[in-house]
Chain A
């Protein structure tokens, strides 16, 4: 576990889950810039005391779920307690029930965290895959995370996208061949995720991270 010294007046204490998928530096710096004191941890027991939890993610779904395995129970408890849980990119996809990515890789049904019922599927409408670059966010419904970002641009890198069973779980959409959900949230509103990388999305991304940190602080 590594802890960055908390800023003098950190708004909230946020834990970034380290399940061995590499670069956590950008997400950490982004959250710090947004006013959080950040702890990177590979210890599931560290989730309980945090004001909020971030599930970062780059890589493949089955590998991500395998690595996140030890956190499954702690994340479920955190979700039930109402702690904010923020999944980024693959971290968002992991909030759903399953992904076509694992099936395609011949790994059968890999169970996601299932906080937001639904599945992740691959773009198959003839677009270039991966969807990589800056694209527009269209806010579909209110959620504290998206305050002030309707019509702004965010940075995406992904080949799969989420299809929640309940349309109400879609907070924002983005157009790329089809309109796909770019921000999703559970019914209670405390578990949510962005398909794009807020820590790489300039001012808009920092705004979303600030919205998240404020949400954590308000708890």
Chain B
């Protein structure tokens, strides 16, 4: 049986010496140095991660070469699927990133501003390597297309950019459907509301997307422990659950999360 996936994610920035380093958000904004990307990738590979996500969070393009070089080093150590996101804006960026050793690229803002990029990427490199990522935020007004019930209220989910600081008025569910039609192979659903809370994934959001598309959905943001992963699989129908800090700060091991899921009849690779 196809298993549910547990995916650790690292946010990679340049440190003051210009080297790639992993940083993890603590209490919403403060970024804490967490480790060396290659070392962390090796550790998670050995710990039973089903995939690995590498997000380049450098704000400028200066670090592009260092990042691609780091992606290659990670790819040489990790014998599980590797997704790389951040700063991918053109077909050429996709090609470079895949050539550096990524199996999939995750595209966010650039796809929203130019949806043809999804079609171009899927046609040129195959749907299996095009992951569309959204940063969703709940909105309780009447501007949306698809509504869900959240705490007894009707709400829709807006695609945001710049880490949730800017709205786009694009409905996440409508965009997910379009991205799928354009050939996206997976959807990576982040929640601005849940991010950093450790109170659990945004289940209504994840469920709204899972119910609308047949493309695999990776739930992200808000994981505080194994019970949150269970909830997003059982109640929202996610195909994969992504987590960062609970693994980085060793609050739980990947194995502990998977054993918890297996005990509750969620199929996992142990």
Contacts and interface: CB of A to CB of B under 8 A. Distances in A.
Nearest to B45: A202
A58 B99 CA distance: 13
Interface in A42-98: 58-59
A130 B185 contact: yes
B178 interface: no
B1 A200 contact: no
**What is the size category of the interface that chain A forms with chain B?**
20 to 34
Interface stretch (A100-108, A109-117, A131-139, A161-169): A131-139
A133 B3 contact: yes
A200 B81 contact: yes
Q: What DSSP secondary structure best describes chain A's contact surface?
A: mixed
B173 interface: no
Interface string A198-212: 011111011000000
A202 B1 contact: no
Q: What DSSP secondary structure best describes chain B's contact surface?
A: loop
B204 interface: no
Contacts of A118: none
Interface in A166-216: 175-176, 199-203, 205-206
Interface stretch (B62-70, B125-133, B195-203): B125-133
Interface stretch (B24-32, B72-80, B144-152): B72-80
Nearest to A156: B2
Interface in B44-98: 45, 48, 50, 72, 75-76, 79-81, 98
A76 to B, nearest CB: 27
A157 B215 CA distance: 12
Contact of B103 (A29, A59, A200): A200
A130 B260 CA distance: 28
A160 interface: no
A33 B79 contact: yes
Contact of B2 (A30, A58, A131, A203): A131
A205 B81 CA distance: 12
Given A29-B76, A201-B79, 11 more contacts: A33-B79, A59-B126, A128-B215, A128-B216, A130-B185, A133-B216, A134-B269, A135-B1, A153-B3, A153-B269, A205-B79
8 contacts: A23-B101, A26-B101, A133-B2, A133-B50, A134-B269, A176-B1, A200-B80, A203-B79
Interface of B: 1-3, 5, 45, 48, 50, 72, 75-76, 79-81, 98-99, 101, 103, 125-129, 185-186, 214-216, 239-240, 269
Closest 4 A/B residue pairs (Cβ): A153-B269, A134-B269, A157-B128, A134-B3
